[in-house]
Homo-oligomer: A and B are copies of this chain.
Amino acid sequence: MKGVGFILESDVVVMKLTEMNKETLEQFLSDCKAQYAAFQAENLKLDMSRGKPSPKQLELSMDLMDCLKRDDYRAENGLDLRNYGVLDGIPEAKEFFSNMLGVSADETIVFGNSSLNIMYWVMSVAMTNGVMGGKPWAKQPKLKFLCPVPGYDRHFAVTEFFGFEMINVPMNEDGPDMDMIEKLVAEDDTIKGVWCVPMYSNPDGVVYSDEVVKRFAALKPKAEDFRIFWDNAYCVHHLVDNPPVQANLLEEAKKAGNEDICYMFASTSKITFPGCGISIIAASKNNIASLKKSMGFATIGFDKLNQLRHLRFFDGKFENLVAHMSKHKDLIAPKFAIVENTLESELKDLDIATWSDPKGGYFISFNQAGCAKRIVALCKEAGVVLTGAGASFPYGNDPKDENIRLSPTFPTEEELQKAMNVFVCSAKIAAAEKLIG
């Protein structure tokens, strides 16, 4: 498909939208609207709103349904995993999943199916009982949290729920603005933490540079109970064959004599089945000991058979997990290509927007100043659901109304192409409307 705006009658016109004269621009808008009306007439129902694996991706993990055999319910140490016990995860699961975060088994706790749930819980414990014996956050008069933007809406929702004032920190190409973060945390002891998705950030796909990782590791916050919430959700979710290798935060923090500075999180949600996976936290031994103590009040232990099921699925070999992720890549990389090719061919020469070119993760971040809400609304009216405009900012407030998170994984390639056609058409309409005023 060749997009409206390029074709006016039979002549191909390729030019920046800002360079069009009024008449051309009005014709452009009119053509786009005609195309949009045609999309509407199709009664589409497409969803690009969330980072959700497709059914084909789930098929990769079907052995999870029956890889745990009837008589297979003991840990290597003989423990009966059907019964109560084992607060912090079975030893072999700790060993296996510690590889995801590049730490040792005794620096991890294995939880249930949701790393978001661990993040929420860790924060709730800090609220009610403090961090490693410190004053409970809920007893402190003012709480602030640093939020690199654009970022993950569910992170911001948790900090909003707990009453934090969230401070936007701009993202650069190599990670968040560290000058700003270093300055703020050194000065203000009401700042208790920072949200990070260090590998293929949500939604920008940024891979924090080693320098940024090291600067995080060496942070000297005024607040003793400050923690980096390092959500490594996409640590093995590459879209390229030779993925970037990143410095390890906990390792760097140890070198800096600062090992208690961080909590790291990961899960199998986008590796096996999102609803039925395994999640882990990694942190210094001090942090882990303190968390385990608190954890003992909250549960007797998580589903240990599901931990064993995952070990059986990967045959206990981490290289099998890596190989498994390569199959995911084969399924989703073509979808990312559809999004990028459509944006490239339809919008690039118009010079109305920019977008990311991620090497991994689940999202493409799209920016068109002053147009995000309008584009999302236009898409919705044509049957294409996107993540809400503003969702990637604290309080849903995107100051420039520019960012839209595109999630290409769930739809089929055909659906995705259709959705992207609607998207670029909507982007053009929004841009033209804005110029015409």
Contacts and interface: CB of A to CB of B under 8 A. Distances in A.
Interface string A44-60: 00000010110100100
Given A83-B53, A83-B58, A305-B273, A297 B128 contact: no
A82 B127 contact: no
Interface stretch (A4-12, A154-162, A207-215): A154-162
Nearest to A53: B83
10 contacts: A58-B82, A83-B274, A83-B275, A117-B299, A124-B124, A128-B138, A129-B162, A154-B297, A275-B303, A303-B306
Q: How large is the interface on A (under 10, 10 to 19, 20 to 34, 35 or more residues)?
A: 35 or more
B297 A84 contact: no
B158 A297 contact: yes
Interface stretch (A23-31, A65-73, A176-184, A423-431): A65-73
A297 B162 CA distance: 10
A304 interface: yes
Most buried by B among A50, A124, A158: A124
Interface string A217-231: 000000000000000
Nearest to A121: B298
How many copies altogether?
Answer: 2
Interface stretch (A108-116, A185-193, A239-247): A108-116
Most buried by B among A112, A139, A154: A112
Interface of A: 50, 52-53, 55, 58, 61-62, 65-66, 68-73, 80-86, 112-114, 116-117, 120-121, 124, 127-129, 136, 138-139, 154, 157-158, 161-163, 269, 273-276, 294, 296-306
A275 B80 CA distance: 9
B52 A298 contact: no
A139 B304 CA distance: 37
A55 B85 CA distance: 14
A120 B70 contact: no
A62 B70 contact: yes
Contact of A275 (B52, B154, B157, B304): B304
A50 B84 contact: yes
A86 B300 CA distance: 24
